[in-house]
C-alpha cells in the first residue's frame, strides 16, 4: 500500500505541530522571512537530560533526551545503562513523535453522545473528577465493591489498580499482561519450579538456544536481542519451532515447521526420547526433582513417530533436536516465551518447557535459565482493607476455584459473563486504565455489550484508542517522557563474570503539556471523592518514587546526580538456591482435576477451505500502542497477510493484492490489507501483525489502516487451568473484490 502524505497533513502530524506557536508569535525579520511555527522562540539552548525510561514497549530501556529550548528533539540510550546501553529501537526513537502527536488526549472529556459513538465535550478537571468519584461511589454503595471491574495495563495502572483492588475491595481486575499474554507462562512455571520465569535465559553463554514460538528479533526488546545475538556470535546453535519462518528462524540451525497447536506433543516426544535413551541429567533430577517415576510413566506413549504424525514434521527432525539438546546440556537456553496465550492448551505446553529444562539440568547454570539477583526496592501502594462479601468470581459455591492456577486477578471471561448475566452479582462500573480491551480480548462484540450495560465507564489513557470510544469520562494521562513513575531494578552479567546490578527511576525529560495529569493525582482525587481520603498512601508521584527508592538507600535527588542510573556490584547468579525444587508430577494439579504430568490436549483444526489465523509482532510496532505514530506508520503502513506461495498461486493471489478476511462464523473484516506470498509459512495457517485496523477516527493516522485481527476472534477459547484466553483458534478465508476465496486443503 502506498503511503501518501499531503503537505497539510504533514504539518498536522509533524512532531512539534501539537505545540505550534500561534500566528501572533510568528516573528518577521527585516528580510521578510518568517520563523517556522515549528521552531521554538528565543535563543536555542541545547541540553542533554537523563533519567528517561522508555515505554514504547514494556521492555523499558533507559534513555537520555536531547532538548532544544523546552522541546525534546532526540532520544538515545543512556550511555550509563548496563541494560540497553546506548541502543534503542525504531519505536524508542519514535517516542519523540509520540510525545508531540497532535491526536494525543489533552483535556478531560465528557461523552454527551452514545457509548461507541461518542460526542466529546471538553470539561475541567474538577468537574471530571467530581463525576468520576460520585458515579463510582454510587455503584459501590448500591452493588458493593464487586460492582466495579478494572482493566489496567502498564506501569501507571498499578497505583489505581491497587486502590480499587486493595482499598475499595473489588476482585474483578483483569490485566492484559496476565490474561492475554504471559500469565499462563508464569503460573505453569510456578507449578513446576515454584517461581515465575521471566525471560531469564543466559543466551550469551548458551551452547544451544531453543525457541518455541518466541519471535526474538521481531519483538525488539533491545537488551534481550543483544543477548540473543551475543549467544549466536559465540557459536550457540539455534533451534526454532514455529509454523512460520520468523526472523529468529532465519538465523536457525534447525527450523521445525510445526503444525499449530501441537507443540506439547513435540516436547513430550523429546522428553520421552531423553528419558528412554538415558540422555537426560539423571544426577540433577535425582537431587532436585520430585515425581520422576510418575512423570516417566505419563509421557511414555510419546514416541518420535507418534509426535511426528501429530505435529506433521519428520521423526528424524525431532530426534535431531533431542540429540542436539542432550549433547550440549546443561548449557541450553530453553526460552520460556513471553506472549503464550495461544490455543487454550497452553498451561500444559509451558509446564513441558519447564520440565524439559529440568531434564537437561539447565537451571542456574551458564547458558541455562538464570534469574538475576536484583537489588531490593520498595513497592509502596495502597493498604489492603477487609471487606464483607465481595465474592470472587473464580470461586465455586463450595469455595473451590474454577481455574485454580489463575494469574493474579480474575479471569476476563468470568468478569464479562457476570457483567452480562448479573450472576452471581451485577458489575455496573468499569475503570479502563491504559488497556485497550476492545483490541486485546477476543470477541469484541461481547466486550462492547459488557461496556454498554455499565452504569459508568471511566477511561484513562494517553491516546484515543478504540476502548476510549466507550467511556463516559475520558481523562488524559501524561506520557512516559513527562512523568516520574517506575523504579526499575535489574542485573546484568558478562563473559568476564562482572556481575552488576542497577536501579533506575523514570524521570520526566520534558514538562507536561496541556492539562495532562499523572496516576497518583488522578487516583487520589477520585479516592477523596469516594470517601477514602484517609487511606491515601502518598500525596504525589515524586513521594511514591522516593519511598520506593528509600529501601535501597536512594532518592530521586541522588539518582539525578548519577545520570538516572545507580550501579552497584552484583551477586553470582549461578548459585542454586537451597529451597529449589522441580515438580515433574504435580499432585495439586491432579487433585484439582488436571493432569499431574504434562499432557498434550489436541485443539480444533481448520474446517475445509479455511486456515488458522496466527498473529504476532513486527520490529517497528508494539501492537496498537504505536499505530498512530506517523514515523512508524511510514515504515509499515499496514499488516500484510503471510500466505504460502503455492497456495497463493492456486488461489490466484499475488504479492500486494488487497484482500479482506472472513472467519468461520461469517464475520468479515471491516477493512482490507495486502497479501505477502512466501514459502516461509505452513499451508494450514496465515500470519499477520497484531494491532492494526483501529476504528477510532480520533486516531487520524491509524484509523482503518490494515486489518484488526482481534475483530475476527469471535470465539473466545479459555485455558482451563488458568482461565486465560487462547487466541489462535480463529479460522479464516480470503475476500477479494467481494468474492470469498477458499484456501485449498493443506497436503
Q: Which residue in the block uniquely carries the three cell numbers 521481531?
A: 218
Q: Which three cell numbers stand for residue 458?
A: 471511566
- Domain parsing of the chain, residue ranges: 7-99, 181-370+576-591, 611-741
Write down the pLDDT at residue 647: 97
CA distances in angstroms from 747 to 312, 416, 460, 471, listed in the order given: 10, 40, 49, 48
Percent of the chain at pLDDT above 70?
93
- Which residues are paired to 238 by β-bridges? 209
Predicted TM-score of the model (pTM): 0.93
Q: Which three cell numbers stand for residue 383?
A: 493498604
Average per-residue pLDDT for the chain: 92
- Which residues are paired to 459 by β-bridges? 432, 474
Q: Are 223 and 500 in contact (CB under 8 A)?
A: no
Q: What is the DSSP letter of 28?
A: B
Beta strands 120-122 and 109-111: pairing type?
Answer: antiparallel
Write down the pLDDT at residue 9: 38
Write down the pLDDT at residue 572: 87
Write down the pLDDT at residue 657: 98
19: exposed, middle or buried (Cβ count in 10 Å: 0-12, 13-18, 19+):
middle
Rounded Cα distance between 367 and 362, Å, is 8
Rounded Cα distance between 346 and 724, Å, is 9
Q: Are 239 and 254 in contact (CB under 8 A)?
A: yes
Over the stretch 295-304, which tens digit does the pLDDT of each residue have? 999 999 999 9
For the four alpha carbons of 57, 506, 435 and 198, in that order, the dihedral sign comes to: positive
Fold for domain 181-370+576-591?
Answer: Dimethylsulfoxide Reductase; domain 2 (3.40.228)
DSSP H or E run through 588: helix 587-591
Q: How close are the terminal C-alpha atoms of the chain, in Å?
A: 32
Overall CATH class of domain 611-741? mainly beta
CATH of domain 7-99: 2.20.25.90
Over the stretch 693-733, which tens digit does the pLDDT of each residue have? 999 999 999 999 999 999 999 988 999 999 999 999 999 99
Low-confidence ranges of the chain (pLDDT < 50): 1-33, 35, 495
Amino acid at each position: 500500500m502506498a503511503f501518501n502524505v499531503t503537505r497539510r497533513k504533514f504539518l498536522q502530524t509533524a512532531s512539534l505541530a501539537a505545540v505550534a506557536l500561534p500566528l501572533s508569535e510568528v516573528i518577521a525579520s527585516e528580510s521578510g522571512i518568517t520563523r517556522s511555527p515549528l521552531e521554538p522562540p528565543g535563543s536555542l539552548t541545547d541540553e542533554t537530560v537523563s533519567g528517561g525510561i522508555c515505554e514504547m514497549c514494556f521492555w523499558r530501556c533507559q534513555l537520555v533526551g536531547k532538548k532544544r529550548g523546552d522541546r525534546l528533539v532526540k532520544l538515545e540510550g543512556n550511555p550509563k545503562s548496563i541494560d540497553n546501553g546506548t541502543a534503542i529501537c525504531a519505536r524508542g526513537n519514535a517516542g519523540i513523535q509520540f510525545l508531540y502527536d497532535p491526536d494525543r488526549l489533552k483535556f478531560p472529556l465528557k461523552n454527551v453522545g452514545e457509548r461507541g459513538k461518542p460526542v466529546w465535550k471538553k470539561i475541567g478537571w474538577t468537574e471530571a473528577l467530581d463525576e468520576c468519584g460520585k458515579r463510582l461511589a454510587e455503584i459501590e454503595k448500591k452493588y458493593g465493591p464487586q460492582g466495579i471491574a478494572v482493566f489496567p495495563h502498564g506501569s501507571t495502572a498499578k497505583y489505581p489498580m491497587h486502590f480499587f483492588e486493595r482499598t475499595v475491595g473489588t476482585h474483578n481486575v483483569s490485566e492484559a499482561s496476565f490474561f492475554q499474554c504471559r500469565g499462563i507462562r508464569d503460573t505453569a512455571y510456578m507449578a513446576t519450579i515454584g517461581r515465575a520465569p521471566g525471560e531469564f535465559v543466559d543466551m550469551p553463554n548458551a551452547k544451544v538456544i531453543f525457541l518455541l514460538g518466541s519471535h526474538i528479533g521481531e519483538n525488539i526488546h533491545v537488551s534481550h536481542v543483544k543477548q540473543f545475538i551475543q549467544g549466536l556470535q559465540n557459536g550457540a546453535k539455534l533451534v526454532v519451532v514455529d509454523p512460520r519462518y520468523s526472523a529468529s528462524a532465519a538465523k536457525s540451525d534447525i527450523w521445525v515447521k510445526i503444525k499449530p497447536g501441537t507443540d506439547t506433543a513435540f516436547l513430550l516426544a523429546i522428553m520421552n526420547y531423553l528419558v528412554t535413551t538415558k540422555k537426560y541429567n539423571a544426577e540433577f533430577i535425582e537431587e532436585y526433582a520430585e515425581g520422576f517415576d510418575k512423570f516417566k510413566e505419563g509421557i511414555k506413549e510419546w514416541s518420535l513417530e507418534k509426535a511426528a504424525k501429530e505435529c506433521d514434521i519428520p521423526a528424524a527432525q525431532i530426534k535431531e533436536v533431542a540429540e542436539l539438546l542432550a549433547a550440549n546440556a546443561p548449557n541450553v537456553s530453553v526460552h520460556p516465551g513471553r506472549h503464550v496465550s495461544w490455543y487454550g492448551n497452553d498451561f500444559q505446553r509451558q509446564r513441558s518447557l519447564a520440565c524439559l529444562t529440568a531434564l537437561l539440568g539447565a537451571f542456574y547454570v551458564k547458558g541455562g535459565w538464570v534469574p538475576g539477583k536484583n537489588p531490593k526496592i520498595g513497592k509502596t501502594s495502597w493498604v489492603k482493607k477487609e471487606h464483607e462479601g465481595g465474592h470472587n468470581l473464580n470461586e465455586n459455591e463450595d469455595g473451590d476455584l474454577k481455574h485454580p492456577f489463575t494469574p493474579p486477578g480474575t479471569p476476563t471471561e468470568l468478569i464479562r459473563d457476570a457483567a452480562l448475566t448479573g450472576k452471581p452479582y451485577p458489575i455496573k462500573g468499569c475503570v479502563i486504565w491504559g488497556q485497550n480491551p476492545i483490541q486485546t480480548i477476543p470477541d469484541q462484540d461481547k466486550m462492547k455489550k459488557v461496556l454498554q450495560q455499565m452504569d459508568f465507564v471511566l477511561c484513562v489513557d494517553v491516546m484515543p484508542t478504540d476502548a476510549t470510544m466507550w467511556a463516559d469520562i475520558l481523562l488524559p494521562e501524561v506520557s512516559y517522557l513527562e512523568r516520574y513513575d517506575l523504579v526499575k531494578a535489574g542485573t546484568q552479567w558478562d563473559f568476564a563474570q562482572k556481575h552488576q546490578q542497577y536501579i533506575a527511576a523514570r524521570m520526566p525529560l520534558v514538562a507536561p503539556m496541556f492539562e495532562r495529569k499523572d496516576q497518583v493525582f488522578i487516583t487520589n482525587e477520585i479516592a477523596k471523592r469516594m470517601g477514602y481520603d484517609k487511606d491515601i498512601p502518598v500525596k504525589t508521584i515524586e513521594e511514591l518514587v522516593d519511598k520506593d527508592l528509600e529501601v535501597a538507600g536512594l532518592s530521586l535527588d541522588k539518582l539525578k546526580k548519577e545520570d538516572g542510573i545507580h550501579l552497584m556490584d552484583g551477586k553470582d547468579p549461578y548459585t542454586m538456591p537451597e529451597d529449589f525444587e522441580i515438580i515433574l508430577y504435580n499432585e495439586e494439579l491432579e487433585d484439582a482435576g488436571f493432569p499431574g504430568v504434562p499432557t498434550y490436549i489436541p485443539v480444533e483444526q481448520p474446517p475445509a477451505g479455511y486456515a488458522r489465523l496466527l498473529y504476532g509482532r513486527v520490529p517497528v510496532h508494539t501492537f496498537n500502542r504505536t499505530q498512530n505514530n506517523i514515523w512508524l506508520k511510514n515504515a509499515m503502513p499496514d499488516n500484510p497477510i503471510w500466505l504460502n506461495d503455492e497456495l497463493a498461486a492456486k488461489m490466484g493471489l499475488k504479492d500486494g493484492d488487497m484482500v479482506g478476511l472472513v472467519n468461520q462464523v461469517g464475520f468479515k473484516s471491516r477493512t482490507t490489507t495486502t497479501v505477502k506470498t512466501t514459502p516461509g509459512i505452513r499451508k494450514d495457517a496465515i500470519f499477520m501483525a497484531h494491532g492494526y485496523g483501529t476504528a477510532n477516527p480520533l486516531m487520524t493516522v491509524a484509523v482503518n489502516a490494515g486489518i484488526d485481527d482481534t475483530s475476527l476472534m469471535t470465539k473466545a477459547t479459555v485455558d482451563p487451568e488458568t482461565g486465560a484466553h487462547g487466541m489462535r483458534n480463529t479460522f479464516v478465508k480470503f475476500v477479494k473484490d467481494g468474492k470469498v476465496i477458499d484456501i485449498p486443503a493443506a497436503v
